[in-house]
Structure 1
Amino acid sequence: MATLVKTLTLVFVMLLVGQGNCQCSPQDIEIVQSQTGATVQQKPEWKVTINKKCNCTIENVNLVCPGFQTVETIDPSVLQIQGDKCLLNGGQAITQAISFSYAWDNSYPFKVDPNFTIACS
């Protein structure tokens, strides 16, 4: 009986530890922007890099982007503008930093939509 209790306790602790490594929140997604120095149609170009700072797989990440405008074409597999939201990486898992550039008068204040899928790996 003592062995069973020890085994169940060990399994329970392992499950908690495993879940602890798979906690992602919008604060774990870092958005960094900087001017590239280039201009496109007389507008400054901005480079955006998005990186996750957690050890889980995240999918279906959207940025909240109402009114976002650019005169530079963005690869839709990287950033797909869908109304007031911008889908990153085609909804696929983000495994490394994602970057794109856009050109507009000012930088856009991108924010992460908190409704994304988290999967433990």
Structure 2
Amino acid sequence: MGCFRNTAAVLVVVSTLVMACQGRRLLSENDKEPTIIDPNTCSMEQVAVYQSPVRPLPSGIPSYEAQIINRCGTCTLYNVHLACGDFASTELIDPNIFRRVERNDCIVNNGGPFGPGEAVVFQYSNTFSYPLRVSSVDCH
């Protein structure tokens, strides 16, 4: 099952990058209507956030996998922050990968570089999934 999930994640990343490289219409997380996103322009819209349920913990607590993907073809991102409400997990998440800084502010990859096409993936567990939305990003 884990191998299939990794294969599915790779397919999502590859198809997203192919669409971005072809300059096709992508739906930005902040827009209701499709907009053209230049695959080489650094912006918050180049960061995709996906979540899906995974196998619950033995205690029965639901678990989720989150993927944060840099869709920019040439940009390195830094200080990627997500609006995350009161995010908490019953299982420890490596704080260098994802952590809550304060209420409604979580940081990805400890604020470090996030290269073109790179994905940060982590699992968390709680009785419900948290809405995660990109709130800010720095670009180089």
* TM-score of the two chains, using structure 2 as the length reference: 0.65
2:64 aligned residue (46, 49, 58):
46
Q: Distance in 1 between matches of 2:98 and 2:52?
A: 17
Alignment of 1:78-117 (within 5 A): 78-84=97-103, 85-95=105-115, 96-114=118-136, 116-117=137-138
Taking a change above 3 Å as real, the CA distance of residues 71 and 41 of structure 1, as seen in their structure-2 partners, is farther
Q: Does 1:63 align with 2:85?
A: no
* TM-score of the two chains, using structure 1 as the length reference: 0.74
Q: Distance in 2 between matches of 1:86 and 1:112?
A: 9
Gap runs ≥5 in structure 1: 1-19
Gap runs ≥5 in structure 2: 1-37
Which stretches of structure 1, 4 residues or longer, exceed 6 Å deviation after superposition?
none
Contact 2:67 2:119 survives alignment (8 Å): yes
Q: Distance in 2 between matches of 1:25 and 1:68?
A: 24
* Number of equivalent positions: 99
Q: Distance in 1 between matches of 2:124 and 2:133?
A: 16
Q: Distance in 2 between matches of 1:118 and 1:75?
A: 24
Superposition RMSD in Å: 1.6
Contact 1:57 1:93 survives alignment (8 Å): yes
The percentage of aligned residue pairs carrying the same residue is 28
Higher relative contact order (CA 8 A, sep 6+): 1
